[in-house]
Amino acid sequence: MKTKMAYIWKLMVITLLTVGFNGYVQADDVTLKSVAQEYDAEALKADGAVYGTVTYTYSDDTTETIDAEFSTDDAGAISFAEITPGIFTANNVWMMLATALVFIMHLGFASLEAGLTRAKNTVNILFKNTAIPAIGLLTYWICGFNIAYPGDFNGYFGFAGFGLESVDSADNTIGYASAGYTYWTDFLFQGMFAATAATIVSGAVAGRVKLGTFLIFSTIYVALCYPIVVSWQWGGGFLSEGGFYDFAGSTLVHSVGGWGALVCAIILGARKGKYVDGKSKAIPGHSLPLATIGVFLLWLGWFGFNGGSVLSADPAATSYVITTTSLAAAAGIITAMFTSWIVQKHPDLTMILNGCLAGLVGITAGPDVVTVMEAVIIGGISGIIVVFSVLFIDQVLKVDDPVGAISVHLVCGIWGTLATGIFGDPEVVSLGAQVKGIIATAVFCVPFAGILFFLLKVTLGVRVEDEEEVRGLDISEHGQEAYGGFQIFSNQ
């Protein structure tokens, strides 16, 4: 993009020099008198690129204004390129496609969670993962979007009002979001992200949580906790001002969900039969093919999750981010494979599936500010971390997490955020700012989730009865079976 804009800038300069230094271009007796550029200099300095306008004034006092993107090169020289309606359309179409890819991730989460848990709970898991995107979108429409992006606020909490703009007032012009997308695309893309936080919690409490209680928790967590944390960074809050960097949400999305998952799993307790005489007993999932399909859907969806977070269809930026994202996932698979082979004495499919997701979560904080080699390192270390984390949380902490959600999203989300500070461009991100962001997120999310889930526990109850758990949530909660005639009644 910078190379293209520099070429256009040089072409303009050559054209002006060709006709002389008097600042006039001859064209049917009408000459160019002046060129005025309008853009936010502070934003340009901070971001390296910003939307603005260029106004040409001619000798007959007529003017022509074009939309343009201003950028700076390594030497600090400022150039601009016109943003045409075609570029705007291409950007918006890509962002809508990225939104669709993030939407598909919810099918991936549903498949993965169902596959890694017992067959007798499949309907329950599919029900939750169908309700979650709906809850995410509706709560984001009601209040979440305007909490996450409140405009000018104190940096900690702001609210721009309930609901969305009207059809007439919504900004769908090139001027919105530097010509990256329209107001409606912005809402849909961000709404898909919001639902992910609740999906992460779903996996950690699978097999024993009351459906109604979980849905209430998810609604409040997505409506308030998630957008407040988002506002601190993406909404221009105190983390953003302090230099924190989280490109697509290793902390803002995955760790927010991970902290909620950890707190809820602790309060809820383990599944029956999980810990016998103080020792962890494996409760295998019923369908590893389904879990594998889920991971591949998630990997595909991450092209939109990270690639869409470029917030335009910039060819160089989107292709680079998707490349570093995929390489990190691949590295996570390979290192998780060798780690589980050595530690567990056999190559564990569930570990390499989580190794893939660990690499994806790890790279999400900074796929645009690390080199290709650094992306491989970040993903590879994520794959190692997730194996040891799953074993430690299960066997030492004795926190029952059926799908490894806490290890993948919280632990590797923290690692990815730190790794961005370690490997990223020091002019863009610092390790100190990353640590501050991690701590701030934990300090807010842990008590929020803890108080909310505890209140639900003492009022409505959070756990199904033992008999219902053994029988399976499909029958006890829904009166249905996922596999008619093949219901499994035992948790052994």
Structural domain tally of the chain?
Answer: 2
Kindly state whether residue 487 falls inside one of the protein's structural domains. Answer: no
The distance from CA 148 to its chain's CA centroid, rounded to whole angstroms, is 14
Mean pLDDT of the region 117-132: 96
Q: Are residues 41 and 131 in the same domain?
A: no
User: Of 23, 48, 82, which one is at a domain's C-terminal end?
Assistant: 82
Range name among 8-12, 200-204, 405-409, 481-485 with the lowest pLDDT average:
8-12
Kindly state whether residue 299 falls inside one of the protein's structural domains. Answer: yes
Kindly state whether residue 399 falls inside one of the protein's structural domains. Answer: yes
Q: Are residues 284 and 385 in the same domain?
A: yes
- Cα dihedral sign, 74-76-82-86: positive
Q: Are residues 175 and 191 in the same domain?
A: yes
Q: Are residues 231 and 101 in the same domain?
A: yes
> For a pLDDT cut of 70, what percent of the chain falls above it?
91
Q: Are residues 32 and 102 in the same domain?
A: no
Kindly state whether residue 275 falls inside one of the protein's structural domains. Answer: yes
User: Of 47, 82, 117, which one is at a domain's C-terminal end?
Assistant: 82
Kindly state whether residue 488 falls inside one of the protein's structural domains. Answer: no
Between vectors from CA 217 to CA 216 and to CA 219, what angle results, nearest 5°? 65
User: What digits encode the pLDDT tens for the residues 395-439?
Assistant: 999 999 999 999 999 999 999 999 999 999 888 899 999 999 999
What integer pLDDT is reported at residue 264 of this predicted model?
A: 97
Q: Are residues 142 and 175 in the same domain?
A: yes
Residue 69's DSSP bridge partners are: 51, 81
User: Of 60, 82, 104, which one is at a domain's C-terminal end?
Assistant: 82
Q: Are residues 54 and 189 in the same domain?
A: no
What integer pLDDT is reported at residue 140 of this predicted model?
A: 95
Mean pLDDT of the region 436-460: 98
Backbone region of residue 263 per phi and psi (left: phi > 0; alpha: psi in -120 to 50; beta: other values): alpha
- Residue 323 exposed, middle or buried by CB count within 10 Å (0-12, 13-18, 19+): middle
Residue 119's domain is classified under what CATH number? Answer: 1.10.3430.10
How many other C-beta atoms can be found within 10 angstroms of the C-beta atom of residue 460?
Answer: 11
- pLDDT range class, residue 47, cuts 50, 70, 90: low
> Over 70: is that where the pLDDT of 463 sits?
yes
User: What digits encode the pLDDT tens for the residues 210-243?
Assistant: 999 999 999 999 999 999 999 999 999 999 999 9
Q: Are residues 237 and 292 in the same domain?
A: yes
Domain that residue 426 falls in: 89-477
Q: Are residues 103 and 152 in the same domain?
A: yes
> Over 50: is that where the pLDDT of 27 sits?
no
Kindly state whether residue 492 falls inside one of the protein's structural domains. Answer: no
Q: Are residues 184 and 272 in the same domain?
A: yes
The residue to which tokens 């007032």 are assigned: 169
Instruction: Please report, for residues 46, 151, 310, the alpha-carbon distance to residue 42 in angstroms, rounded to integers and kept in the order given.
Output: 6, 17, 20
User: What digits encode the pLDDT tens for the residues 263-280?
Assistant: 999 999 999 999 999 899
Kindly state whether residue 482 falls inside one of the protein's structural domains. Answer: no
Output the furthest CA–CA distance in the chain (Å, rounded).
95
- pLDDT range class, residue 40, cuts 50, 70, 90: confident
- pLDDT range class, residue 486, cuts 50, 70, 90: low
Q: Are residues 121 and 75 in the same domain?
A: no
Q: Where are the alpha helices (DSSP H) in 157-255?
A: 183-204, 211-220, 226-233, 238-241
- pLDDT range class, residue 64, cuts 50, 70, 90: confident
Kindly state whether residue 262 falls inside one of the protein's structural domains. Answer: yes
- pLDDT range class, residue 74, cuts 50, 70, 90: low
Q: Are residues 191 and 169 in the same domain?
A: yes
What integer pLDDT is reported at residue 9 of this predicted model?
A: 42
